[in-house]
Chains A and B, each alone.
Chain A
C-alpha cells in the first residue's frame, strides 16, 4: 500500500527526536513530501504534540503568528490546543479583545480577561499561574511571548520549557530588523533560538516586493546562525502569487489577520 504522507520538515525533525520515525517505517511509508500547510499526520492516528514559543521585535507579528499557528493546529488535529499570552510588561492587553472569540472557535486561551484585571491597571506585572504550568497540559501549546526585547528569557518562568521550540518572528519593514546585519545583532541578543520566521510585511500596504525582499534578507540572516527559516508567513490573499514555497525554498505559512481587532 502506498500512503502519501504530507509532512513538514520541522515535524520530521521532531519525529526523529521522538523516535516516531520507527513507527513511520512500520507503516511502510515510503514517500514523504514536505508541505507545512497540509500537515496530515494525524489522519493515521499519530498524536503529535507541538510546543512552540514565538518571540520577536515589538510589533513583528508574533501574536498574529501565534494565533494563526494555534488555529492551524486546532483544525489539523493537534488537539487540544492551548494559546498562552505571555506578556509580562503590559499583560492585560494583547489577546484580550479576541480571547473569547478564539475560545468559541475551540482554542483554550490563557490570557487575562477584563474582569480579572479590574483594579490592576498597568501596575499589575504578574504571571497568571496557568501560564507557568501550561506545558504540563495535554496537546499542543503555543506561547505568544510579548514585548520583544527580552527574547526567550521569559520562557525560563515556565515549567518544562526545555521541550519548547523557540521561533523568532522577523519583519524587515521594521528598521530594527531591517537588514541582515541588524537581524543578526538582534537574534544574538535573544538567547536560545530554534528558527526564524520571515513575516515581512507592511500591514495593509503589503506587496510582493516587501515579501520577497524579506525572503532574501531573512534567509541570509538565518544562514549566519545555521538556523532554518521555519516559514515565510504571508496573508492568504498572496497564496496564488507565492505558492507553497518561497523563492528560497522555505515553506510558506498562510495567515488570516486576526490582530486587527486588537490594539496592542
Chain B
C-alpha cells in the first residue's frame, strides 16, 4: 500500500497552487484532467510531480472544453476527479459544468481568477465571480467557495470533494492569481486526523448486473426535447438545490453586532477588510465586516439581519460590481444605503479601505 501523502499534521510554506495539489492528494482525488493556463499552472505541475508517487493519475487534454468533459467522464466512471483553470479556460468549462449541474455529476473545479475581458492579464482579479457562480445556459445550481488564504484553499479543496459527492452538484473553489502565486504558511493534515471521512465515490456507468433485471438501469441524460419536459426537470432540480442550500451556506462576520458601517468583501479582499476593521475600531469607528465563504449560494438571511441595524454597507471588490450584484439580489427590499469601492483587476489594501471609510464619515 502506498504511503499517505500527508501523515498527521505538518506546518508548511508554499504557493496556493501547490496547496491545491496537495489538498487534492489528501482528499484522495484519483485523477486530474487539465490544460495549462496561468495563474493555475502549478496546480498541474505539482499534481503531475506528485500523482505518480501516490498512485494517482493525470490526463492533459487538448483544451479546456475537453478538460471539463473528461472530468465529468471521470466522475461518471466513479473516480474522484477534478480540474483547475482560469479566465478563458473557465469560459470553456462552463459548458461541461452546466451539463454537470443538469446530470448531477459531482465535479470539482478550482478557479484561480485572472483579469478580463477575454485574455486580459494573467495576474489577478475577482472578475470571474459571475461566470463561476452563474456561467453557462443553466440556473447556477452549483456551490462556490471563495477562499481567502492558503489554509482555506487546503480546507475547502478537501471539502469541495465531499460536498460535491454528498449532494451531487458541481463544486467550485474560487481563488485568484494572488492566492495562486503568493507564499504563506499553513497546516496540512490528513483529513482522517480531523475526523473528516471522504465520501465514497460511486460509478454511474458499468455497474454490475443486468440493467432492468438485477438493478435499475442507469439512465443518464442531458437532452430534453420539449419545453415542458425541460421545465419540469429544471424545476425539480432547483427544488433539490434549494434543499441543500441551508446545509452548505457559509459566511463569517467581524464585529458586525454593533457596526454602523459594514464592509462587504469576499475572497482575498476580506483580508484587507479585516485589517481595515481592526484599524478603524482602534480609532473608535464602528465598522464591521461580512464575508461570504460560499459566495454562491449566498447567506442572504444573515446579511439581511445585519442590514436591520447597519447605517451603511460598502461593497469592496476587484471587479466592477460582480459581487455587488449578488449582494443586491440577496438583500432586495432592504433600505440600508449602499456604496461601492470597485477596482476591477486590481488588489485592495486595508489602508485604502480605511481612507475611504474615513472620507465618508
Task: Mark A residues whose CB is within 8 Å of B.
Answer: 58-59, 90, 93, 121-122, 149, 171, 173-176, 178, 201-205, 210, 263-264
Contact = CB atoms under 8 A, between A and B. Distances in A.
A-B residue pairs, 4 tightest by C-beta? A202-B185, A173-B13, A205-B185, A122-B122
Contacts of A210: 11
A204 B6 CA distance: 23
Contacts of B182: 263
A200 to B, nearest CB: 9
Given A121-B119, A175-B22, A59 B12 contact: no
A173 B150 CA distance: 14
B121 A121 contact: yes
A173 B11 contact: yes
Contact of A122 (B11, B18, B38): B38
Nearest to A64: B183
B150 to A, nearest CB: 10
B13 A171 contact: yes
Contacts of B13: 59, 171, 173-174, 201-203
Given A121-B119, A122-B122, A204-B185, A174 B38 contact: no
A65 to B, nearest CB: 14
Nearest to B347: A263
B184 interface: yes
A201 B11 CA distance: 10
Contact of B12 (A121, A122, A175, A264): A175
Contact of B11 (A90, A149, A176, A205): A205
A102 B118 CA distance: 34
Contacts of A58: 15, 18, 42
B323 to A, nearest CB: 22
Contact of B183 (A59, A90, A149, A176): A59
A176 B181 CA distance: 17
A173 B185 contact: yes
Contacts of A121: 119, 121-122
B50 to A, nearest CB: 8
Nearest to B178: A263
A203 B178 contact: no
B277 interface: no
Nearest to A210: B11
B10 interface: yes
Contacts of B105: none
B184 A204 contact: yes
B230 interface: no
Interface string B1-35: 00000100011111100100010000000000000
Interface string B272-303: 00000000000000000000000000000000
Nearest to B15: A59
A231 to B, nearest CB: 18
Contacts of A149: 45, 49
13 contacts: A58-B18, A121-B119, A122-B122, A173-B13, A174-B14, A175-B10, A175-B22, A202-B12, A202-B13, A202-B185, A203-B13, A263-B124, A263-B178
Nearest to B50: A176
Given A121-B119, A121-B122, A175-B10, A90 B184 contact: no
A174 B13 CA distance: 5
Nearest to A89: B41
B158 interface: no
Nearest to B150: A203
Contact of B184 (A93, A178, A203, A264): A203
Interface string B38-75: 10001001100100000000000000000000000000
Nearest to B49: A176
Interface in B179-197: 181-185, 188
Given A90-B38, A121-B119, A173-B13, 13 more contacts: A59-B15, A59-B18, A121-B121, A173-B12, A173-B14, A174-B12, A174-B13, A175-B6, A175-B14, A176-B49, A203-B13, A263-B123, A263-B181
